[in-house]
A and B are shown apart, each in its own frame.
Chain A
Amino acid sequence: MTGFVSFFRRLEGPQTVGRGPAFWSLFAVVMMIAVAYPLFSDGYTVGNTVYFFVWVFIALSLCLIWGYGGSLSFGQTAFFGIAGYGYGVLTLNFGSAYGFTLVALVASVAIAAFFAALLGYFMFFGRIAGVFLGIVTLAVTLMLERFMAQTAGPEWHIGSARLNGFNGMSAMPPLTIPWPGEPIVLFADVGLYYFVLGLLVFVYLALRILMNSSFGNVIVAIRENPERAEMLGYDVRKYQLITFVIGAVLAGMSGVLYTAWGQYITPSSMGMTAAALPLIWVAVGGRSDLTSTVVGTLVVLAAFQALTIYGSQYALVFMGVLLVLTVLIAPNGLVLGTMNWLGRLAARITQRAG
């Protein structure tokens, strides 16, 4: 029983911003709004919101590896792409009956995790760190993009699934939940919205617990001073590898959900622009905090989309400017900076009142 309680007590801790009744009340209000939201909106807008949610997982993966772990990975898109293509290949071959799309979801994420374990093993046990980690991971994702882009001919297929080169794969079935009578097909509107929202809340809370656990302590210790962490008896490389694999699972979830949402995946999802954007969302939000990452990613994505609609050529330039401004004004992230400022303000007010 006490173990059970202390498990949930880890929802709060030194590694996550937000604690106490005020924070969780706000969390509950946001949840209620999120749950009620489809009732007050049309299917297209809801589907578009799912699109935003889908990207949060890859942002959280970067938050974990870079913000908490201190290793800048430029290649989370590689795992995004592997899982996305994995879902395409599996579902185009085996269809969506008997809940197979859910099996494909898990299997594709597992493939991405396996790939990350392999790559991570050579990187971390080869003592690659700092900027070189960023270079290697970037090279991997760009190589995958190049490779997939040249798979245009009919000879490039896995089973009955054609890879289709630069045009990518399409027409894979959406996620489908088996149900007595009629299976529930999660098209990119209300159905998928609740599925992804549920997954997102679960992942967010699970990561809060993980980061405030003794495991999370070691991860931030490695970020602060890897030599000291090792000299406290922690096998630094093992912890880095585990974090990297968890990050790949999250990025892979983004990949599968994206593929299931749009029913397509192309090599450019592993390209340079795709690799750079998550870095900007996470840096602008606040890479060392989960909540800041989620809020920052959603805000920046919505702003990016609005800009793309009203002046598409400037959207990427604006992203660059936003990154530069963040680095200059609030290097720890604009959302995190604002939250910390609000926290200090509240503390001062209560102090004055008391």
Chain B
Amino acid sequence: MSLLELRKLNKHFGGLHVTNAVDLTLEAGEIHCLIGPNGAGKSTLFRLILGEHHPGSGDVLFAGENITALKAFARIRRGLSVKFQVPGVFKGLSVRQNLEIALQSRHRGRELEAEIDRLLVFLGLASEQAQTAGNLSHGQKQWLEIGMAISLKPSLLLLDEPTAGMSPEETHMTGEMVQRLNADGMTVLAIEHDMAFVRQVAQRVTVLHLGQVFAQGSIDEIVADERVAAIYLGQAHA
């Protein structure tokens, strides 16, 4: 059964048609990358999936349930989770407390402490746990937020440019992290511009252009598609 199904999603911002009858199906267990030029509607699509925006028309189905009318927090409780484009950590709080806030609804007491320790090691942030999150490097903030997102044990993880601002090594490590999570059964939908990352992790790729699904297939098919290259080049020349 498909885990996430978007049916004819439409969203207007004033006169701007941001997503135009988008159909997208995600199979359980896959890593799916969403690419497309700037302004293609990728982040808006994420916000429609998460319930931060509500579509003008169309439906969002998650694990067979129509969640179009649900509020964002309720969707999260059903098994969605997200890492934002700009790292959304709690800047004024310690790294440890950031993770505690993410984990506390699932664990209590000593079990909670142990779970935080485990996650700190997984993220490579154990020595930074007392540090204020706002003082972390950009890459560390990204990992911390990924840590918060996965601590909910979601069945679907949404990643909005998880490697933005990372060095090639950090990007590769993030890719490995995503593959490890996927091996444990997590379905991943990632927006990403870094083609090395997409090549590393994606099992299927969807290209979004001007609010519509432009192409879909394996990374090799997408790279070989001349029309896809054209929209990126067109964007570059515009």
How many A-B pairs have beta carbons closer than 8 Å: the answer is 66
Known: A217-B101, A218-B101, A221-B101. A231 touches B81 (CB 8 A): yes
Chain A residues closer than 8 Å to B148, beta-carbon distance: 228, 232
Does residue A235 face the partner (Cβ distance < 8 Å to B)?
yes
B180 at the interface (CB under 8 A from A): no
Q: Does A42 contact B (CB under 8 A)?
A: no
Query: Which residues of chain A have C-beta atoms less than 8 A from B101's C-beta?
Result: 217-218, 221, 229, 232
Give the shortest distance, in Å, between A154 (CB) and chain B (any CB). 51
Residues of B within 8 A of A229 (CB): 101
Q: A233 contacts the other chain (Cβ, under 8 Å)? A: yes
Interface status of B84 (Cβ within 8 A of chain A):
yes
Q: With A and B bound together, what is the CA distance between A224 and B144 in angstroms?
A: 15
Nearest CB to that of A224 among chain B residues? B90
The prevalent SS among residues of A at the interface is: helix
Select B152's contact among A6, A223, A232, beta carbons within 8 Å: A232
With A217-B104, A218-B101 already in contact, the answer to whether A230 and B93 are too (CB < 8 A) is no
In the complex, per-residue mask of B74-113: 1 if CB is within 8 Å of any chain A CB, else 0: 1011000110100011111110010011101100010000
Which residue from A6, A14, A225, A235 sits with its C-beta under 8 Å from B88?
A225
Task: Determine how close the nearest CB of chain A comes to the CB of B150; give it in whole angstroms.
Answer: 12
Contact mask for chain A residues 196-225; partner B; CB cutoff 8 A; 1 contact, 0 none: 000000000000000000100110110111
User: Residue B50 at the A interface, CB < 8 A?
Assistant: yes
Select from chain B the residue with minimum beta-carbon distance to A235: B73
In this complex, what residue of A is CB-closest to B96?
A14
A94 to chain B, nearest CB (A): 44
Whether B22 is near chain A, meaning CB under 8 Å from some CB there, is no
Tell whether, in the assembled complex, residue A231 and residue B93 are in contact, meaning their CB atoms are under 8 Å apart.
no
What's the least CB distance linking A188 to chain B, in Å?
A: 41
Known contacts A14-B97, A217-B104: does B88 contact A233 (CB below 8 Å)?
no
The reply to whether B91 and A230 form a contact with Cβ atoms under 8 Å apart is no
The answer to whether A236 has its CB under 8 Å from any CB of chain B is yes
Q: Is the CB of B215 closer than 8 A to any CB of chain A?
A: no
- How long is the Cα–Cα vector from A180 to B161 in the complex, in angstroms? 72
Interface bracket on B: 20 to 34
A residues less than 8 Å from B89 (CB atoms): 225, 228
- For the complex, give the distance between the alpha carbons of A221 and B74 in Å: 18
- The answer, among A2, A14, A232, A235, for a CB contact under 8 Å with B93, is A14
A231 near B91 (CB under 8 angstroms)?
A: no
Q: Tell me whether A234 and B73 are in contact (CB under 8 A).
A: yes
Counting CB contacts under 8 A, is B72 at the interface?
A: yes
Verify B152–A233 contact, CB threshold 8 A: yes
Task: Assess the B88–A231 pair: CB atoms within 8 A.
Answer: yes
Interfacial chain B residues near A230, Cβ < 8 Å = 72-73, 76
Identify which of residues 278-325 in chain A touch chain B, using a CB-to-CB cut-off of 8 Å. none
Q: How far, in Å, is B73 (CB) from chain A's closest CB?
A: 5
- Could you tell me if A228 and B72 are in contact, using CB atoms closer than 8 angstroms? no
Contact between B82 and A231, CB atoms less than 8 A apart: yes
Q: Which residues of the partner chain B approach A217 to less than 8 Å between Cβ atoms?
A: 97, 100-101, 104
Of B71, B76, B90, B105, which one neighbours A220 at CB under 8 angstroms? B90
Distance (Å) between the CB of A220 and the closest chain B CB? 6
* Partner of A232 from B50, B71, B76, B91 at Cβ < 8 Å: B76
- A40 vs B21: C-alpha distance in the bound complex, in angstroms? 79
Q: Is the CB of B88 within 8 A of A236?
A: no
Closest to A238 in B: B73
A225 and B73 contact, Cβ closer than 8 Å, known pairs A217-B97, A232-B101, A232-B102: no
Question: How far does the Cβ of A125 sit from chain B's closest Cβ, in whole Å?
Answer: 11
Residues of B contacting A234 with CB < 8 Å? 73, 105
Docked-complex contact B91 and A224, CB < 8 angstroms: yes
Please name all residues of chain B whose beta carbon is closer than 8 Å to the beta carbon of A236 when the two chains form the complex. Answer: 73
CB atoms of A224 and B109 under 8 A apart: no
Give 18 A-B contacts (CB < 8 Å), ordered by A residue: A2-B109, A14-B93, A214-B105, A217-B97, A217-B100, A217-B104, A221-B90, A224-B90, A224-B91, A225-B90, A227-B88, A228-B89, A230-B73, A230-B76, A231-B81, A233-B76, A233-B105, A236-B73
Residues of B within 8 A of A (CB): 50, 52, 71-74, 76-77, 81-82, 84, 88-94, 97, 100-102, 104-105, 109, 145, 148-149, 152
- A: residues with CB less than 8 A from B are 2, 6, 14, 214, 217-218, 220-221, 223-225, 227-236
Q: A231-B76, A231-B149 are in contact. List 11 more A-B contacts (CB 8 A).
A: A214-B104, A221-B101, A225-B91, A228-B89, A228-B148, A229-B101, A231-B73, A233-B73, A233-B105, A235-B73, A236-B73
